[in-house]
Every structure is written in C-alpha cells, then in structure tokens.
Structure 1
Amino acid sequence: MTLLRARREWVFFATLWRSHPGLTAVWWALTLFRGILPAGFVVAIGALVGAVVDGAPLTAPLLLIGVVFALMQLLAPLHNQIGSMLGEHVSNRLHDRLLVAAGTPEGITHLENRAHMDEMTAARDFDLGMIGPPLHLSMSIIAGGLVTAISGLAQAAVLAAYAWWAPLLVGGAWLSTHWLLRESSQWDRNTGEVLDAQRRAEYSYRLAVDSPAAKEIRLFGLASWVTDRFAADRRALVELRWHATRLRQKPMRWAVAVLTTSGGLLFWSLGRDAATGAVDLGQVSTFAYAAVGASALAFGGLNWALSLASDGVASVLRVEATMASSGAARSVVSGRTTAEGMPAAEIRFRDVTFTYPSMSRPVLDGLDLTVPAGSSLAVVGGNGAGKSTLVKLLCRLYDPVSGRIEVDGTDLRELDLESWRRRTSAIFQDFIRYELSLKDNVAPLDATDEEVRQALDTAGAADLRDLDRILSPGYENGTDLSGGQWQRVALARVLHAVNRGAGVVVLDEPTAQLDVRGEAEVFDRVLEATRGCTTVLISHRFSTVRRADRICVIDQGRVVELGSHDELMALGGTYKRLFELQATRFNEERNGADRAS
C-alpha cells in the first residue's frame, strides 16, 4: 500500500480529491458509467439480432439501444465540462500553493540555486502547455483513457458468458498490447537536459511575444532569428521525447503475434459453436462485438496525459516540500529581537565572507566596515567587486557564510526579520516596474493619496498626478513611462517607506537613468528627505558619490579605502584614479559638445 501511495498517479488522483471532493466524485461516477455503457450497447445489439432471428417483438431491444446510445452521446460533453471545471480548480489551487511555497523562504537563495530552479521550472510550467496540455484539457484526455479502459474491461467481462477462458484470453492479449504502448510513450521530463530545453523554448517564446524585447528585435531584424530559435528549442524537446521512446517500440511485433493468436482462437471457437448450434446468432453477435470492443484495453487506461499531469502535480508538491524543509528555506531565519529604533549607534560588517551557491570564489572576503547611524556611505568599486552583494546582505536577502553583520552590537540574524525590513528601504538597480496603478507602484501595501503625492514630489515626479492610471500600455487607458520617470517612481517608493518609519536606506544605482542635472537634483532631494537615516549608496557616478559623508572603495571583496571625498583625493589611491578618469571623460564629452555647437 505504501508503494501504491507513492506512485505519481495515486498522488495526482489524491490531489483531485483534496482539491474538490464533490466534483471529483461526480467525475469518477461519470467515468465509470460511461465505461460500462458500451458493454450495455453490445448486449442490446445482440438482443436485437436474436429478436430478429426468433421473430420476437423488437420494441424492447430497440428502446434499450436508443437509451444507451443517447446516454453515450449526452454524457460525454457533460463529463468533459465537469473535467474542465475540476482541472481549473486543481490548477488554481496548485498555483496558489506554488506561490506560497516560492515565497515562504525569507531569502532568495532558492531562486538562484540550479536544482531548485529546475524544480521551479517544471512546477511553474505544468499548466502552461510547454510540455503537455493544460490541466483543464488534460482532464478530458485522462477521462477518455479511463473510460476506454473500463469499456474494454466491461466488454471482456461479457465474454465470460461464453466461456470462462474467453475474457482471460482476449483481455490478457489486449492488456499486453496496452503495456507495450504505454512503455513506448513514457519519458522522463525532469532531467536536466529536458528542463534546459524547456527553459530555452520558453525564453525564446517570451522574447517573441513580450514587449520589453520588441524594440531591439525589430530594430536589428531579429524576428526570424527568434522564431527559428523557438522552433529549434521546441524541436529539441520533441527529439528528446522521440529518442526516449523509439527504442522501446521494437517489441510491437510480439504484440501483433499475440493478438493474432488470441483473436484467431476465440473466433475459431465461436464459429465452431455457432455451426453446432451451441450458441445462437444473437449470442454470436454479442460475443463477436465484445471481443472486438475489448481492444479498448490496449488504448485506454493511464495514458500520456495522466503521466504529464502527474509529473506537473508532483513537481509542485516537491517544490512545496523543498521550500518547507530544505536549506533554502532555512538560509534566512528570523530572530526574535525587535529592530525598532535601530540603528541608534552603528551598523558594522565584521569579517564578512559570502559566496553565492553557484560560485566557488567568494564575492566578499573578510570584509570589515562600520557605518555610523544617521550617516551616508557611498560604496564604489569595479564590476564584481561585491557592492550589490553587500547591500543584499544588509537587507538580509542572504546571510554571510562567515563573519557577522551587527546592528548596535546585535547580530543581524538575531533581529526579527519583519521588524528589520520595516526599518529598511531600498531601490535596486533592477527595480520592479509593476503593471499596476501609479499609487500601487509607490505604496503597494496602502497609503493615502496625499502620502503618495508627497513621495512623488520629493522624488522629482510631481508631474505624475493620476494615481489610478495603470503603468502599462497593455491595459485600457494604461500608459508607460520613460526610464527616468520610472526611476523617480522607484525612488518615491523608497521615500514613502522612509515616511512610514524606515531608518536604513539602500540606494543601488538610484539615478542611473537620469541625466547629470536630473541626477544632482534628485539626489539632493533624497539626501534631504533621508536626513537622519543611515544611507548606503552605490553609484558609478562620482558627482553623486562625493555628496556622501564617507566613501568606501571595495576591491576583491574587501574595503581598500575609506574616507570622505577630500580625504580619498588626498590619499591619491584608487578612488582618486577612478574619479579623475571619469572627470576627464566628462570634460572631453562636454568640450566636444561645445565645439559641435
């Protein structure tokens, strides 16, 4: 029983029952009843033939045939509708569970781990039609397979009225054929190779149909290139499946031999008995039709749609289990100490080392850094130096591999996570552009219109006044914003959090999409609005960086220089070299523009 419960098919049907017992019960009842009806039709046909031969009244057999035929026609669309409703209900429930599972871990390690990503891909795509039909369509195919199998069994059972060995002979032959057909259609869709092909196919599809890539695809004439890539990636999926199944098709010649032998024996015996008068013509008709109808055993049962649907459901359940019990779920665990009013003295990175799960080299390597409370710190350094990683650790999206981050002397891991994140506000360089209203983009969790407008004004976006306008052209009366406007909206989101009590502000390239004049204006506004907050700024523009109270230069995961702008320029080290290099380029560009004018 334990082995049976572990089978993916059992898990799938148990999931149906748990999702909606009422619909599931009706679906199973219709499956069973529809499966029995063809056997009743065969018996009714035999009765009609017998009545014709014997000269008996035809009313009863004709009425029986009419009723059975009508039920067969009427119940099929009803069954499909019930299955579609059940599939949609199960799909919605599984997607809800998947969203909860993916959002359960407090960090983001699980979203960047390859093994977890493979599981998430299989779980996320189970109902998108990338590998098989969506669940609301699969239910009709699954029901059809089960109805066909029950029909075959019922008609094989009719043969028991002829001879005890007849259902065993015919049913056994068709069951062996069913096994061969089933084996030749199975494939493992959860291998890394299959998931990679699936991921590439989905990405190619998104490139073709989503708007973010549309400009470049058309500008560079890449439409055919994207289409060809999608076709190639989909073809790779088909070839993987074909390679997995074609090697199992050789035993089919044995199935033909078995069917020929079993069918020949039955019809020889039936013909012999008909010739001797052991069975009448009506019985011969019934048993012959039943023998042919038993072939449904070969083509019904637990079909390919059930296999794919079961894999999808199993993937969702595995993700749920993984997120609940794995190291990913435990990678960021909330402490119990409240963070209210912190930091009052300082934030300190003490010998912090961090390595991403997919990398062998540490991004931060024994980093030491102190940020006095209420001050602003700019972090500069080359690409890959560890700047963004530093602020992710500060936001507790990850925890250090070794070392600790202390807030007023308390390890950050000991603070209540929700409490700390209420104290923290951030704009990341890849900030989210929600396809929601302007108000929801600034304050997703609730705010008054006045609070939202105040945040927009401070961020330099006073011209954006329609708070209910959807920020996406894909909606009726929706609109899109320029890159600079979006950046100001994201800054308004941070400033609203500050107005609501955030005391630590993280700005990761907060003005990258603004021109120099707009950058200076906005950053001055932000510094004024966050006065008294502990602010950590990452920027490649030194005109912004120099406004911070202190500047630290990170190289190879460590702080190599720390001080004010004037102090670091006097030091004559890395910061001065980078500052002068950028200043020289800026002057050259400005002089070139002056000469051009």
Structure 2
Amino acid sequence: MTTEGAASMPPLGERVRRWTTMWGLLRHAGVPLVAVGLALSVLLALLPLVSIVALGRVLFLLPSMTDGAASAGWSDLLAVLGVAVGALVVQQLLAPFQTGIVETIGRRVDQRCIDRLLGAALSDAPLALLDDAEVLDVVADARAAFARQNMSPGDAAGALVPLVGRYVQLVGAAALVGVVVSPLAGAVILATALVMRAGVRGTFSKLTPIWKTLHPQRRRMYYLRELATTPGITKEVRLLGVLGWLRERLRRETMAYLEPQWTVNCRLQLWPFVGFSAIGLVGGTIVLVLVALDDTLDLFALGVAIQAVLIPLRFGVYFPECDVRTQFGLLSFEALERFEQRLRSATPEATREGSDAPVPHGVIRFEDVWFRYADDGPWVLKGLDLELVPGTSTAIVGLNGAGKTTTTKLLARLYEPTRGRITVDGVDVRDLPLEAWRRRLALIFQDYLRLELSVTDNVGLGAPELRDDAARLREAISAAGADGVVDGLADGLDTVLSGGYAGGRDLSGGQWQRIALARALLAVSGGADVLVLDEPTAQLDVRAEAEFFERFLADGAVAAVARERAVTSVVISHRFSTVRPADQIVVVAEGRVVEQGTHDELLAADGRYAELFVLQARRFRSDSPDDPDPDPHLDPDPDAASPETALTAGGTR
C-alpha cells in the first residue's frame, strides 16, 4: 500500500502499516545479519534479569553469613555474586557489538533506499514533475535523510533490533514478578508498562504532522546553507556585501523551522509525561501493596520483585536508541514512496514500457504545438509550426521569452506538448521508444553539464561507447575548438576539471563551453543525427564565435560532416549576424513562427528579422562611448533557466 493510500487509514491501521513497513525494510540488511542482531538483543535483554535473580539469591543468603567467610553457604554466596557480576560484565562487552550490527543494518537499508531514490530521480519521467512544490519537498526530505541530516529509513529499521530487546526484557520482568509474587502482580506491572508505552508513542506521533508541515521551511533552510557554502556562489555573495543579510536570513529560516517544533515539544513532553509517571506510580504501588500483603514471601522473592518492578516503570519515558529513529526515520522512506508514486502516475505508459519499434529517420515537424509549464501558467508556445529537414541547418532566433529553448526541450521530450504533436517521418515521437529517440539527439543547453570529472569523461558522455577511443575524442575536441584548452592541461585528457582535486584545473566559462560542444559533436560521431545547440557561443569571444559558426553552419568541418551524414542541425542564437549561413532561419515570437527563410530572403521581406538584424549591426558599428545600455535582445534566452533547475536551486523558479 502506498503512503498516499495510508493517509486515509484510521490511526490503528496507519500504525500497523508503519510497523509492517519497518520490519519489511530489514530484509534489505540480509537475514543472517538481522538474525544475529536479534539474538544478541535478546541475550542483552535477559542478562539484567539474570543479575536480578542472582542478586535476589545474594539477598536471601546474606542473613546466614554470620561467620563471614567461615559460614557454610559462603561459597554459594560467592558463586551467585559471581553470576551477577559476570552477567553485568558480559552485557558491557556485548553492547558495542549490538551497536555495530545496528549501524550495519542501517547502512544496508539506506543503500537500498538510495539506489531506489537514484533510480527514481534518473528515470524518464517528465521534468514537469520537478516543478511541483510537493515533489520538491519530498525529494528534499529524502536527500536530507540519506545525507544524514535527518533520520533515515536505515535508522528506523536498525532501531527495531534494540526495541525487541526492550520488550523481551519487559515480558521477562513481568514473568519474574508473576512467579515470585503472584500472577496478578505480574499482569498489573505488564499492563502498566504497556499503557505508558502507548502514551509515549502516541505523544511522539503528534510530532509527525508538525514536522510534515515544515517542508517549505526545511527546504529553504537547506538551500540557504548550500548558498553560504557553495564555491562560485560564495564569492559573489561576498562581493555583493550581503554576508550579513545571508547570515540573518539563514538564522530567520532556521528559527522558523525549529520554533514550532520546540513549542510542540515543550507542550507534549511536560504534562503527558507527568501523567505517564503517575500511571507508573499507581501500577508500582499496587504491586508493592500486593508484595506487602503476602506474608509468605522470603528475602529472595522480595529482592527479585523490587528490582523487577523497576524495569517496566522505564516504559514511561522514551527510548533514545529507538523512539526518535522509528518515529521519524520512516518519514524519509514514505517520502521516497510518494516520489515513486508521483513518477509512476506522471510517466506515460509507453515511456515506462518502451517499444522495439525502430526510430524512423526523416523530416521532423512541429504541428500546431502548444505548451505551458504549468496547468495554470501562461502559454509559452501557441500553435508553433516548424519543419526540420535532414542534412540542413536551421537557426532559431527571437526575443527573450519567445519560446526558443522550450522548443528544443520538447524536441528532446524533456516535456511533452500540451496540445499538438511533434513527428519524425510522420510518426508521433511520443509513440517511439524514449531512450532510442534520445540517442538520436546531440543537444546542449545554455545550462550545460560541468562535471568535476576528467576531460575524457566530460566529453565521452556524449557517446559512452566512444569514451575510450582517444582519436575520436580528439577529433570532437578539435572540431569544437577545444584542442588548445586540452593541450594546456597538465594531464591532458585525464585532467580533472576542478581545482578542488589534486592535479585538477578550473576552466573559464568559454573553455567549459568548448568542452560541452565537444561532447555534442562526439555524440554526432557516435550516430546522433539531430544536433541542437542552444546559445552555443554565449561565453565565447567574437573571434572564437565567428570561427565556430564557420565550422558549424558554413563550409567548415562540422558542417561537412553534418551534410555527409544527413544530420539535422539546429542552433539557437541571439546574435543575428552569426546565423547568416544557416540554410533556414526561423524567427519565433510570442510562441509561434512569424518568419522563416534564408538570410537574404528575410532581409528582403523587411520584417522583424530585418529590423533586429539592422539594430544589432548598427550597435556593432557604433564606436561612441555614449552608447545606450545594451539591447536586452542580446541577453541569453531566459526560458533557458528551466524549471528543472529548481531542484538544485532550492526549488525556486
């Protein structure tokens, strides 16, 4: 049963479900380890009872030791005392082994849950799911638990081992009282302990809803912590002089998260626990009265009864090794289950099951495509029609927010059209195997990957099967104009692209962009036949940009390979002068194609393209130091700051 279905359960059914889930998690730790842990827990629970019986026997023998060591029962006294001390020593020796087993169980369970979280996060579910605030809260909770910031599922599962020992000890103590005093006394002490225990767990359960309502505050707190410690962000924070503001904001968000919990804790852990103590006092008093009324009890029975009564009375307080872990550790697992459930409901059946149908090659068409990121959000695309012909190059230009980057996301099936469809050779791409379709694409967004891995890994991920082919890697790197970057690295292709590692090296923005381009070109070398570059030269200087477009769109090596392999090339750029060689230039405005043609055709039409081209040309020719502020049309497309980046930026858009 999913956690969503459990939400409507009655309290008893919900508790049964939670405990069943925790016991089910133990299977991931392995039966032998769990069996050893439980056996050790039972042994540790019984050893104090052995001490109680032995000390009761000591109390019984002491009155007869009138002659000290010369007394007849002296050897018996020493033997029984040795048993009591030995039980205590063995208990102290075995306790660390139990701690180690519990931690190992927790790590194994958490590893299994982490695998599930990674599998879910890296699935082919629509990225629109990561727009959902509830999903972001759920993922943040799961990530925090597995990063040991919160209690984890492994903590909950591992805590069951010592908890079993607690109950074994309770039953044993009640049995001792029942044997040496009376069955009624044993039943009273057992009932008293269970009533107190139910109250303690009920109190803890009231903390859970409060904790769940604090999802947004918790996520903001984690985000601000990362903001204060992430390299690359902290330098700008310092330059802006907002360290004090950030410190105060982090303090405020932390207090907004902690204060509601403190308030509830103070209320729940005062009077309720006074009541539990009163219940324990009443139960203990009843047992002591029963002891006092029984004039047949000897010193052994009295000693055992008085000691054994104290064990059940401990059930009126929370168990530090169990209660917090079992109450809160399972929440992250429930968060993981909710995330998986949302993924299953959001992922189309065809995407989940896949298909063996071959992916056709041919003309790609956007047919009356409408799209918006949220059901109640504004339309980004409004009936867009576009045709991409194999072996040709298409440049998509337009003002900020026109939907250029969104078009490429739909092409890659990171999102699905709200209305309309995208076809290849007449087949709706939604009917094609998702993985096979994406292997056809070599696509780089403005927010491209910057992996703290070697050059080989950063480039080789474009076509993993070519990762170990140094010649093909070098070819892609050279085509992207990144050979100068790699040649300047101490370990060449093996250099880690991060200064945070020994022998590593940080790259500039322009150098990183060349590495990203090389990755896309390696994908083409590996068989991809749709090459899409979103603002590929945003961080290159003017000369490097001109050289790139010469290679990509005009008569350079990349363009020649594209024509030879019938590669469909698409480039998004805000600089109109650089896209002149494209076979087709498409102007997008207000979510639809408003103009298309060659550069000369669009200039002759004297429409929007001509207007913006002339505007940019005029600015490049201007030498005046009094030029106005830069034209906003020259900025990168803001819709490239996509919703899916919200997960790494604290969930804000």
Would the TM-score normalized by the shorter structure come out above 0.5?
yes
CA–CA distance in structure 1, aligned partners of residues 570 and 101 of structure 2? 57
Report the CA distance between 1:192 and its aligned residue.
6.7
Preserved CA contact (<8 Å) 2:277 2:316: no
CA–CA distance in structure 2, aligned partners of residues 425 and 191 of structure 1? 44
Unpaired runs of at least 5, structure 2:
2-11, 66-72, 628-653
CA–CA distance in structure 2, aligned partners of residues 350 and 72 of structure 1? 74
Partner SS state of residue 359, structure 2: coil
Partner SS state of residue 470, structure 1: coil
Preserved CA contact (<8 Å) 1:80 1:140: no
Partner of 2:252: 232
Partner of 1:440: 457
CA–CA distance in structure 2, aligned partners of residues 152 and 58 of structure 1? 27
Matches within 5 A, 1:327-346: 327-328=346-347, 330=349, 332=351, 334=354, 336-339=356-359, 342-343=361-362, 346=363
Partner SS state of residue 159, structure 1: helix
1:284 to 285, 299, 302: 302
**Residue type matched to 1:557 in 2?**
G
Report the CA distance between 1:368 and its aligned residue.
1.1
**Residue type matched to 2:359 in 1?**
A
**Residue type matched to 1:363 in 2?**
V
Matches within 5 A, 1:5-20: 7-20=17-30
Partner of 2:58: 48
CA–CA distance in structure 2, aligned partners of residues 520 and 425 of structure 1? 21
Report the CA distance between 1:442 and its aligned residue.
0.3
Partner of 1:268: 289
Unpaired runs of at least 5, structure 1:
none
Partner SS state of residue 205, structure 1: helix
Partner of 2:414: 397
Pick which of 28-37 and 488-497 moved more. Answer: 28-37
Partner of 2:482: 461
1:298 to 316, 319, 327: 316
Asked whether 1:254 is paired with 2:272, we answer no
Q: 1:196 to 1:396 in 2, by over 3 A?
A: same
Report the CA distance between 1:31 and its aligned residue.
2.0
Pick which of 134-143 and 325-334 moved more. Answer: 134-143
Partner SS state of residue 476, structure 1: coil
CA–CA distance in structure 2, aligned partners of residues 182 and 5 of structure 1? 10
Report the CA distance between 1:468 and its aligned residue.
0.8
Asked whether 1:546 is paired with 2:580, we answer yes
1:420 to 429, 434, 437: 437
Preserved CA contact (<8 Å) 1:149 1:297: no
CA–CA distance in structure 2, aligned partners of residues 22 and 229 of structure 1? 49
Report the CA distance between 1:202 and its aligned residue.
1.4
Report the CA distance between 1:356 and its aligned residue.
1.7
**Residue type matched to 1:347 in 2?**
I
Name the % identity.
Answer: 36
Asked whether 1:123 is paired with 2:157, we answer no
Report the CA distance between 1:206 and its aligned residue.
1.2
Report the CA distance between 1:41 and its aligned residue.
1.6
**Residue type matched to 1:291 in 2?**
V
Asked whether 1:488 is paired with 2:514, we answer yes
Report the CA distance between 1:351 and its aligned residue.
0.8
CA–CA distance in structure 2, aligned partners of residues 377 and 503 of structure 1? 14
Preserved CA contact (<8 Å) 2:204 2:327: no
Matches within 5 A, 1:190-205: 193-205=213-225
Asked whether 1:471 is paired with 2:490, we answer no
Report the CA distance between 1:43 and its aligned residue.
1.3
Partner SS state of residue 202, structure 1: helix
Preserved CA contact (<8 Å) 2:155 2:326: no
TM-score, length basis structure 2: 0.83
**Residue type matched to 1:489 in 2?**
I
Report the CA distance between 1:423 and its aligned residue.
1.8
Report the CA distance between 1:213 and its aligned residue.
0.9
**Residue type matched to 1:9 in 2?**
W
**Residue type matched to 2:379 in 1?**
P
Partner SS state of residue 403, structure 1: strand
1:556 to 574, 590, 599: 590
CA–CA distance in structure 2, aligned partners of residues 5 and 180 of structure 1? 14
Q: 1:581 to 1:188 in 2, by over 3 A?
A: farther
Asked whether 1:516 is paired with 2:549, we answer no
Preserved CA contact (<8 Å) 1:331 1:398: no
Report the CA distance between 1:24 and its aligned residue.
1.4
**Residue type matched to 2:460 in 1?**
A
Matches within 5 A, 1:350-389: 350-357=367-374, 359-389=376-406
Superposed CA deviations along residues 535-583 of structure 1, whole A, max 9, x for unmatched, are 1111112222333222222222111111222222232322233223333
Partner SS state of residue 58, structure 1: helix
Report the CA distance between 1:247 and its aligned residue.
4.8
**Residue type matched to 2:340 in 1?**
E
CA–CA distance in structure 1, aligned partners of residues 521 and 436 of structure 2? 18
**Residue type matched to 1:217 in 2?**
V
Matches within 5 A, 1:78-157: 78-132=97-151, 143-157=161-175
CA–CA distance in structure 1, aligned partners of residues 615 and 19 of structure 2? 65
Preserved CA contact (<8 Å) 1:41 1:65: yes
Partner SS state of residue 502, structure 2: coil
**Residue type matched to 2:57 in 1?**
A
Partner SS state of residue 562, structure 1: strand
Pick which of 91-100 and 223-232 moved more. Answer: 223-232
Asked whether 1:450 is paired with 2:471, we answer yes
Report the CA distance between 1:279 and its aligned residue.
1.4
Report the CA distance between 1:246 and its aligned residue.
4.7
Partner of 2:232: 212
CA–CA distance in structure 2, aligned partners of residues 62 and 140 of structure 1? 34
**Residue type matched to 1:417 in 2?**
L
Preserved CA contact (<8 Å) 1:197 1:237: yes
Preserved CA contact (<8 Å) 1:352 1:364: yes
Partner SS state of residue 188, structure 1: helix
**Residue type matched to 2:221 in 1?**
A
Report the CA distance between 1:142 and its aligned residue.
5.3
Pick which of 469-478 and 428-437 moved more. Answer: 469-478
| RMSD over aligned Cα atoms | 2.7
Partner of 1:37: 47
**Residue type matched to 1:95 in 2?**
I
